[in-house]
């Protein structure tokens, strides 16, 4: 395939920048670069334009540097929030890529950034907060904070108030104390000591007996019935 040497008049990614001499396919130069005004043939007359092209290149690179430097400072203050779907165990379905981060930057903050400038060593596979590296320019690097949250957060376990927990523990403690006292009393003598000297415990009324009713009078002995007289023969 025939090659031809051209002078680039614009920056072309993967090929070169203004004022660069590059060799390309003759058909590519004839059908695309020359009609689009992206390059000119390498001739003696065109070499005089090199100085103008170099000056334009320097101005463009300085502008890009300043723009990317300002963008790095602005982006470092942002927090990009990405919501993903998760299972019941909190694990993500799929991963978060640099393309997703670039889309959210455009949606949330109207910041247009090529996904190739967002550097992820590996795709993000878990919830949490991350600090992502940005390669905005050959001489400009930046950081972006990214938070990955679930669209279906896990339900928090019920929290028992401290006051209720103490109320539940109190009767158990009291019962244990009573059991300990009764066991201690049995070990020392078995019988409980009276509350004070001369203490006499009143008799307990029988069940069903009313205290306000006087006791019934005792019945005397029943007289024997006289035997019936014998019938006359």
At residue 168, the pLDDT reads 52
DSSP string, 165-193: HHHHHHHHHHHHHHHHHHHHHHHHTSSPP
Q: How far apart are CA 56 and CA 19, in angstroms?
A: 9
pLDDT for the residue 211:
47
| Count of C-beta atoms within a 10 Å radius of residue 30 | 13
**What is residue 231's predicted lDDT score, i.e. its pLDDT?**
46
> What is the structure's pLDDT at 200?
56
* Nearest in space to 10 (alpha carbons), one of 66, 57, 61, 65: 57
Is it the case that residue 220 has pLDDT exceeding 70? Answer: no
Scan for tokens 């008049």, then name that residue: 9
Q: What mean pLDDT is predicted for residues 97-116? A: 94
The whole model's pTM is what? 0.55
For 126-151, the pLDDT digits (tens) are 999 999 999 998 899 999 999 999 98
Residue 14 contacts residue 5 (beta carbons within 8 Å) = no
Minimum mean pLDDT among 9-18, 41-50, 51-60, 63-72: which range? 41-50
User: 129, 145 in Cβ contact below 8 A?
Assistant: yes
Among 47-51, 119-123, 220-224, whose mean pLDDT is lowest?
Answer: 220-224
Rg (CA), the chain: 51
pLDDT score recorded for residue 216: 55
Residues 46 and 26: beta-carbon distance below 8 Å = no
* Terminal Cα-to-Cα distance of the chain (whole angstroms): 170
Output the pLDDT for position 205. Answer: 55
Q: What is the pLDDT of residue 31?
A: 94
For the chain, helix (H) and strand (E) counts, in that order, are: 5, 7
Residue 150 dihedral angles phi and psi, to the nearest 5°: -90, 140
Alpha carbon distance 72, 66 (integer Å): 10
Q: Which domains does the chain have, with CATH numbers?
A: 3-69 (3.40.5.10), 76-150 (3.10.430.100)
Q: Which of 5, 9, 118, 115 lies closest to 60, judged by CA?
A: 9
């Amino acid at each position: 395939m025939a090659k031809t040497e051209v002078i680039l008049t614009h920056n072309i990614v993967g090929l070169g920048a203004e004022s660069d001499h590059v060799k390309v396919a003759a058909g590519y130069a004839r059908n695309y670069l020359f009609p689009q005004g992206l390059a000119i043939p390498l001739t003696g007359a065109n070499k005089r334009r090199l100085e103008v092209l170099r000056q334009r290149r320097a101005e463009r690179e300085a502008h890009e540097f300043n723009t990317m430097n300002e963008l790095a400072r602005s982006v470092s203050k942002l927090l990009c929030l990405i919501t993903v779907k998760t299972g019941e165990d909190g694990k993500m379905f799929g991963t978060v890529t640099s393309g997703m981060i670039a889309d959210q930057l455009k949606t949330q903050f109207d910041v247009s950034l090529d996904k190739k400038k967002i550097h992820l060593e590996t795709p993000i596979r878990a919830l949490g907060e991350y600090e992502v590296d940005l390669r905005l320019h050959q001489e400009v690097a930046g950081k972006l904070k990214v938070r990955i949250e679930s669209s279906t957060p896990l339900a928090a376990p019920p929290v028992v108030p401290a006051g209720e927990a103490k109320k539940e523990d109190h009767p158990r403690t009291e019962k244990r104390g009573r059991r300990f006292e009764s066991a201690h009393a049995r070990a020392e003598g078995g019988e409980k000591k009276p509350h004070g000297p001369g203490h006499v415990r009143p008799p307990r009324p029988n069940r069903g007996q009313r205290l306000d009713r006087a006791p019934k009078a005792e019945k005397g002995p029943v007289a024997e019935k006289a035997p019936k007289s014998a019938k006359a023969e």
